[in-house]
């Protein structure tokens, strides 16, 4: 009866063990020209980590069992910690970090509402996939920042997320329910566009639209490839 919802038996072949360092290096060179100033970078990155924290806390609240709640605690704590470490960097540069973050709040809050999802499964899929894309992007973007703070900010965004547990929680749920897998595969694909718009909003445009797009395109291709690998890890067809 539910055959139509079944995932195809053949998955996309994704090369998991390809060395990541070389292409990332090239992408960083591309992005260097598009890097925003340090203060707005930190403000937007910090507010995004706060939004990731809120999404994880919401997933924790919606969790169907105490065990699942428990599993999401560490990831929530680590997102909050990343937010607070970025705010601490901001506080070295400005008096009131909230003033720097505030201009980014309306767009990110609206985005968070769109990718929120209708239940625990969509909420959990969303935070795993969207935080994955946004972390990848802000790590790449940090490479063009001036001074020591760039590498430091990249290390903060790149630090442990505790989100691996979400893969287990979702893979278990999907294994029990075929229709869930096809619903979440659709949901996972829908998230990409809005998330890349948030990434795009962080870019400092040079004025030459064609050159900018030529630089952005390979970066987004790489973000989507990494996203597809995360989808695949959940057992979802990207």
How far apart (Å, rounded) are the C-alpha atoms in residues 120 and 64? Answer: 8
Find the Cα–Cα–Cα–Cα dihedral 169, 175, 178, 180, rounded to 10°.
0
Count of chain residues binding a second copy (CB under 8 A): 28
How far apart (Å, rounded) are the C-alpha atoms in residues 40 and 4? Answer: 47
Site for a second copy in 99-128 (CB under 8 A): 101-102, 105
Tell me the window of 29-37, 51-59, 135-143, 229-237 that interacts with a second copy (CB under 8 A).
51-59
Per CB under 8 A, does 40 bind a second copy? no
How far apart (Å, rounded) are the C-alpha atoms in residues 188 and 237? Answer: 9
Q: How far is the CB of 169 from a second copy (least distance, A)?
A: 13
Per CB under 8 A, does 41 bind a second copy? no
Per CB under 8 A, does 80 bind a second copy? yes
Smaller CB distance to a second copy: residue 32 or 98? 98
Per CB under 8 A, does 172 bind a second copy? no
Per CB under 8 A, does 97 bind a second copy? yes
Structure tokens at 72: 């999401």
Q: Which residue has 């069992």 as its token pair? A: 65
Tell me phi and psi for residue 174, to 5 degrees. Answer: -70, -40
Q: Which of 31, 50, 145, 157 binds a second copy (CB under 8 A)?
A: 50
Per CB under 8 A, does 163 bind a second copy? no
Q: What angle do CA 41, 18, 13 make, to 5 degrees?
A: 105
Per CB under 8 A, does 147 bind a second copy? no
Q: What angle do CA 226, 83, 29 make, to 5 degrees?
A: 45
Per CB under 8 A, does 74 bind a second copy? yes
Structure tokens at 235: 């057992």
Smaller CB distance to a second copy: residue 83 or 183? 83
Per CB under 8 A, does 47 bind a second copy? yes
How far apart (Å, rounded) are the C-alpha atoms in residues 228 and 176? Answer: 22
Structure tokens at 237: 């067809």
Q: Which residues of this chain interact with a second copy, rule CB under 8 A?
A: 47, 50, 53-54, 57-58, 60-61, 65-67, 69-70, 73-74, 76-77, 80-81, 83-84, 87, 96-98, 101-102, 105
């Amino acid at each position: 009866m539910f055959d139509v919802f079944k995932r195809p038996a053949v998955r996309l072949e994704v090369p998991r063990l390809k060395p990541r360092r070389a292409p990332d290096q090239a992408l960083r060179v591309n992005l260097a020209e598009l890097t925003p100033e340090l203060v707005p970078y930190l403000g937007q990155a910090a507010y995004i980590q706060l939004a990731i924290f809120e999404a994880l806390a919401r997933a924790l609240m919606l969790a169907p069992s105490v065990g699942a709640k428990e599993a999401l605690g560490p990831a929530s704590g680590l997102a909050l910690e990343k937010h607070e470490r970025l705010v601490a960097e901001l506080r070295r540069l400005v008096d009131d970090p909230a003033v720097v973050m505030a201009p980014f709040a309306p767009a990110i809050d609206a985005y968070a509402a769109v990718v929120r999802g209708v239940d625990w499964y969509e909420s959990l899929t969303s935070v795993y996939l969207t935080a994955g894309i946004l972390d990848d992007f802000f790590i790449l973007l940090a490479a063009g920042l001036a001074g020591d703070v760039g590498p430091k900010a990249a290390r903060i965004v790149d630090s442990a997320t505790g989100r691996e547990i979400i893969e287990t929680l979702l893979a278990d749920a999907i294994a029990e329910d075929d229709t869930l897998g096809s619903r979440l595969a659709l949901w996972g694909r829908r998230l990409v566009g809005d998330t890349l718009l948030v990434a795009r909003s962080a870019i400092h445009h040079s004025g030459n639209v064609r050159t900018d797009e030529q630089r952005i395109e390979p970066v987004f291709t790489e973000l989507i490839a990494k996203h597809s690998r995360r989808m695949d890890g959940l057992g979802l067809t990207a």
